[in-house]
Amino acid sequence: MKILVTGGAGFIGSAVVRHIINNTQSRVVNLDKLTYAGNLESLTSIASSERYAFEQVDICDRAELDRVFAQHQPDAVMHLAAESHVDRSIDGPADFIETNIVGTYQLLEASRSYWKDLPEARKAAFRFHHISTDEVYGDLEGPEDLFTETTPYAPSSPYSASKASSDHLVRAWRRTYGLPTVVTNCSNNYGPYHFPEKLIPLVILNALEGKPLPVYGKGNQIRDWLFVEDHARALYKVVTEGKIGETYNIGGHNEKQNIEVVHTICALLDELRPLSQTALGIKAHKDLITFVQDRPGHDIRYAIDASKIQRELGWSPEETFESGIRKTVIWYLENLNWAQRVQDGSYQRERLGTQ
Q: Could you tell me the maximum CA-CA distance found in the chain, to the nearest angstrom?
A: 68
Tell me what pLDDT residue 220 has: 92
Write the DSSP assignment of 193-237 as a string of letters.
T--TTSHHHHHHHHHHTT--EEEETTS--EEEEEEHHHHHHHHHH
Whole-model pTM? 0.94
Nearest to 77 by CA among 36, 144, 24, 30: 30
Query: CA gyration radius for the chain?
Result: 20
Pairing of the two strands 255-257 and 222-227:
antiparallel
The domain over range 2-194+224-254+299-321 is classified in CATH as 1.10.3720.10: no
Q: Which of these is catalytic: 105, 114, 137, 159?
A: 159
Of 339, 251, 344, which Cα lies nearest the Cα of 301? Answer: 251
Q: Which of 32, 134, 167, 229 is catalytic?
A: 134
pLDDT per 10-residue tile (average), the chain, 355 residues = 98 98 98 94 97 98 98 98 87 94 98 98 98 94 89 94 98 98 97 93 94 93 96 98 98 94 97 73 88 85 95 97 98 96 86 51
pLDDT for the residue 347: 87
Query: Which residue in 32, 41, 135, 255 is the catalytic one?
Result: 135
Neighbours of 352 (CB within 10 A): 9
DSSP state for residue 41 in the 8-state scheme: G
Whole-number pLDDT of residue 144: 81
Looking at residue 355, its pLDDT comes to 37
DSSP tag of 288? G
CA 162 to centroid of chain Cα atoms: 15
Q: Where are the beta strands (DSSP E) in the chain?
A: 2-6, 27-31, 52-55, 76-79, 127-133, 181-186, 188-190, 213-216, 222-227, 247-250, 255-257, 289-292
The DSSP secondary-structure symbol of 147 reads B
Count of alpha carbons within 13 Å of 105, Cβ hemisphere only?
Answer: 7
Could you confirm whether 134 is annotated as catalytic?
A: yes
Q: Residue 276's pLDDT is what?
A: 57
117 is catalytic: no
Alpha-carbon distance of 133 to 128, in angstroms, equals 16
Between the CA atoms of 16, 66, 128 and 23, what dihedral angle is there, to the nearest 10 degrees? -30
Beta bridge partner(s), residue 249 = 185
Phi, psi of 133 (to 5 degrees): -130, 155
Strand partners, 183: 130, 247
Q: Please name which of 7, 5, 36, 281 lies closest in space to residue 128, comparing C-alpha atoms.
A: 5
Contact 348, 37 (CB under 8 A): no
- Tell how many helices (H) and how many strands (E) occur in the chain: 15, 12
d(CA 99, CA 58): 9
pLDDT on residue 280: 66
Backbone dihedral angles phi then psi of residue 3, each to the nearest 5 degrees: -115, 130
